[in-house]
């Protein structure tokens, strides 16, 4: 049995089904594909990333080949812009951003020396988001692009967040404005839902939508792969692990509203973090109408959809307790973003799911609580 028909559940299910196992997947939502679910907007015909922007990027050739087996990927480079103060800048921070921000015409080595002079070089081993920013971009760019955005996104001070969150973003001393540094990058021509549907399209896989998982159902199955929230497995009895959830405010426009797919808003006084204009994710399509989502981040309550695991000291301590208990459980493996309470990109999710299924097959159906350690 697999709980959840997102990327983890679908990929594990497919691997096991191909080896002749019967796979039963229960999914509480009315659709597959989890948070990478895409759907055509009925009003405009635009393919919408219903749970926020998802851009596929990876260095893992096997994962790239895997997704390409299930759908056609079109070349797509994520080029994000940010509004801060009275200007629009290019992200990730690159030579254009630096020159525009400081009104200069620096060449790469000059810009590097210039930013190094702004940076706080007394920080030798940055631990927090703020330290990482002050060490590598200095206070001006930090204030304009990262501080306000991060406060809105995470609901706390960047001093309380780990440096790893900022390390997701490159800093470039050239004019390359590709948001990611991975070798393979693309967008599925017909959306992510089609890819996940095709992964699940196997005679040994049965998917039950709109079905809440009940732990008492697991007595007659050989093994459970659980991609729901780890604390949910235990009925949240030690308390809930903290997540950020998102609210999307939809609006439409006739024509091109912002000229790019994602516009971030760096300042704390603008209540939303970014605006996504979905039709720019499919530049090969033509649409007169446009649909946009203003994205607001807030603390995730019991009835909300969990998006980003917070993973600060307090949450990690609680996670430790749930992980210890999970390790004492037999016949269940916790997988994916919610099952392991980690900020996972799609490619890593697929990599881990493939590895997890392979390990299960190698071990003859025996599997520990975690294939990848969550702490
Ligand atoms: N971030 C920021 N300003 C930006 C974009 C990102 O401060 O304009 C920070 C923010 O804390 C965010 C993190 O960098 O959570 C990672 O950004 P990414 O774009 O990878 O976030 P995602 O698209 O996964 O929400």
How far is ligand 1, taken at its centre, from the CA of residue 148, in Å? 11
What are the Cα distances from residue 250, in Å, to 40, 225, 228, 286, 290? 14, 35, 27, 20, 11
> How far is residue 357's CA from residue 8's CA, in Å, rounded to a whole number?
10
The pLDDT assigned to 217 comes to 74
What would the mean pLDDT of 305-321 be, rounded to a whole number?
Answer: 95
Q: Could you tell me if 198 and 228 lie in one domain? A: yes
**CA–CA dist 350, 353 (Å, integer):** 5
Around Cβ 102, how many Cβ atoms within 10 Å?
15
Residues 145 and 202 in one domain: no
State whether 56 and 110 are in the same domain.
no
**Does any domain span residue 134?**
yes
Domain's final residue, options 116, 133, 167: 167
Does 274 qualify as catalytic in the annotation? yes
Q: Does 292 reside within a domain?
A: no
pLDDT of residue 218: 79
Confirm whether 54 is domain-assigned.
yes
- Does 150 contact ligand 1 (Cβ within 6 A)? yes
14-69 pLDDT, tens per residue?
999 999 999 999 999 999 999 999 999 999 999 999 999 999 999 999 999 999 99
Q: Which of 53, 91, 146 to mutate to test the pocket of ligand 1 (most atoms within 8 A of CB)?
A: 146
Residue 251 belongs to a domain:
no
Q: 159 with 12, same domain?
A: no
Segment (H or E) for 252:
strand 243-254
For ligand 1, atom 20, name the residue with the nearest CA: 168
Residues 149 and 201 occupy one common structural domain: no
* Stretch 98-103: mean pLDDT: 98
d(CA 177, CA 77): 9
Q: Whose CA is nearest to atom 1 of ligand 1?
A: 146
Confidence (pLDDT) at 219:
77
Is 290 within a domain?
no
Residues 163 and 193 in one domain: no
What CATH number does residue 54 fall under? 3.40.50.720
CA 356 to CA 363: how far, in whole Å? 11
Residues 104 and 159 in one domain: yes
63 C-alpha vs ligand 1 centroid, how far in Å?
Answer: 24
Range of lowest pLDDT (29-43, 63-77, 105-119, 159-173): 159-173
pLDDT of 58 = 98
Asked if the structure places residue 369 within a domain, the reply is no
Residues 105 and 41 in one domain: no
pLDDT greater than 80 at residue 366: yes
**pLDDT tens-digit map of 133-145:** 999 999 999 999 9
Distance 197 CA to ligand 1 centre (A): 29
3-class SS of residue 131:
helix
Neighbours of 74 (CB within 10 A): 14
Q: pLDDT tens digits, residue range 224-251?
A: 999 999 999 999 999 999 999 999 999 9
Mean pLDDT of 149-169: 94
Q: Is 149 in the pocket of ligand 1 (CB under 6 A)?
A: yes
Of the residues 167, 200, 225, which one is the last residue of a structural domain? 167
Can 197 be counted among the known catalytic residues?
no
The model's pTM = 0.97
Q: Look at ligand 1, atom 12, and give the residue with the nearest C-alpha.
A: 150
Q: What is the mean pLDDT of residues 195-224?
A: 93
Q: Give the Å distance between the CA of 324 and the centre of ligand 1.
A: 31
232: in domain: yes
According to the model, what pLDDT value does residue 264 have? 98
Which residues constitute the domain of residue 21? 2-73+189-239+311-362
Do both 340 and 214 map to the same domain? yes
Q: What is the mean pLDDT of the chain?
A: 96
Indicate if 20 and 153 belong to the same structural domain.
no
By mean pLDDT, which of 68-82, 211-225, 286-300 is the weakest? Answer: 211-225
Distance from the alpha carbon of residue 2 to the mean position of ligand 1, in angstroms: 31
Which residues lie closer than 8 Å to 329 by C-beta, 6 or more apart?
Answer: 233, 369
Structural domains in the chain (count): 2
Tell me whether residue 362 is one of the annotated catalytic residues.
no
Catalytic (active site) residue 295: yes
- Of 54-58, 73-77, 112-116, 311-315, the one with minimum mean pLDDT is 311-315
Is the minimum distance from the CB of 163 to ligand 1 under 6 angstroms? no
Q: Residue 215: its pLDDT value, please? A: 83
**Could you tell me where the DSSP H helices lie in 228-298?**
230-233
| Same domain? 100 vs 50 | no
30 inside domain: yes
Same-domain pairing of 330 and 233: yes
């Amino acid at each position: 049995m697999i709980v959840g028909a997102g990327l983890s559940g679908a990929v594990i299910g497919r691997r096991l089904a191909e080896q002749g196992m019967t796979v039963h997947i229960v999914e509480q939502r009315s659709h597959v594909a989890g948070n990478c679910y895409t759907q055509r907007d009925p009003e405009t015909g635009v393919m919408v990333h219903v749970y926020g922007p998802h851009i596929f990027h990876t260095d893992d050739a096997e994962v790239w080949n895997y997704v390409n087996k299930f759908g056609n990927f079109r070349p797509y480079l994520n080029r994000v812009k940010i509004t801060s103060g009275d200007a629009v800048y290019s992200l990730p921070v690159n030579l254009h951003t630096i020159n525009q921000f400081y009104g200069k015409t620096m060449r790469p080595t000059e810009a590097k020396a210039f930013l190094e002079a702004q940076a706080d070089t007394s920080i030798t081993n940055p631990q927090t988001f703020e330290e990482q920013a002050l060490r590598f971009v200095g206070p001006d760019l930090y204030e304009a692009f990262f501080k306000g955005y991060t406060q809105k996104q995470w609901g706390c001070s960047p001093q309380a967040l780990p440096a790893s969150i900022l390390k997701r973003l490159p800093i470039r001393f050239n004019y390359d404005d590709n948001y990611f540094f991975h070798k393979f990058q693309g967008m599925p021509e017909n959306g992510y839902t089609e890819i996940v549907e095709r992964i699940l399209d196997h005679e040994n896989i049965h998917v039950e939508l709109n079905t809440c998982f009940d732990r008492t159902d697991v007595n007659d199955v050989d093994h459970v792969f659980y991609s729901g929230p780890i604390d949910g497995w235990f009925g949240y009895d030690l308390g809930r692990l903290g997540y950020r959830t998102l609210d999307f405010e939809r609006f439409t426009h006739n024509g091109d509203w912002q000229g790019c797919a994602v516009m971030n808003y760096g300042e704390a006084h603008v209540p939303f973090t970014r605006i996504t204009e979905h039709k720019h994710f499919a530049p090969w399509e033509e649409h007169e109408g446009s649909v946009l989502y203003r994205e607001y981040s807030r603390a995730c309550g019991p009835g909300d959809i969990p998006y980003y695991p917070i993973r600060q000291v307090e949450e990690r301590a609680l996670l430790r307790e749930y992980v210890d208990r999970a390790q004492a459980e037999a016949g269940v493996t916790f997988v994916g973003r919610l099952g392991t309470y980690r900020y996972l990109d799609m490619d890593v999710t697929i990599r881990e799911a493939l590895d997890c299924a392979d390990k299960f097959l190698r071990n003859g159906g025996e599997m520990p609580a975690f294939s990848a350690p969550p702490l």
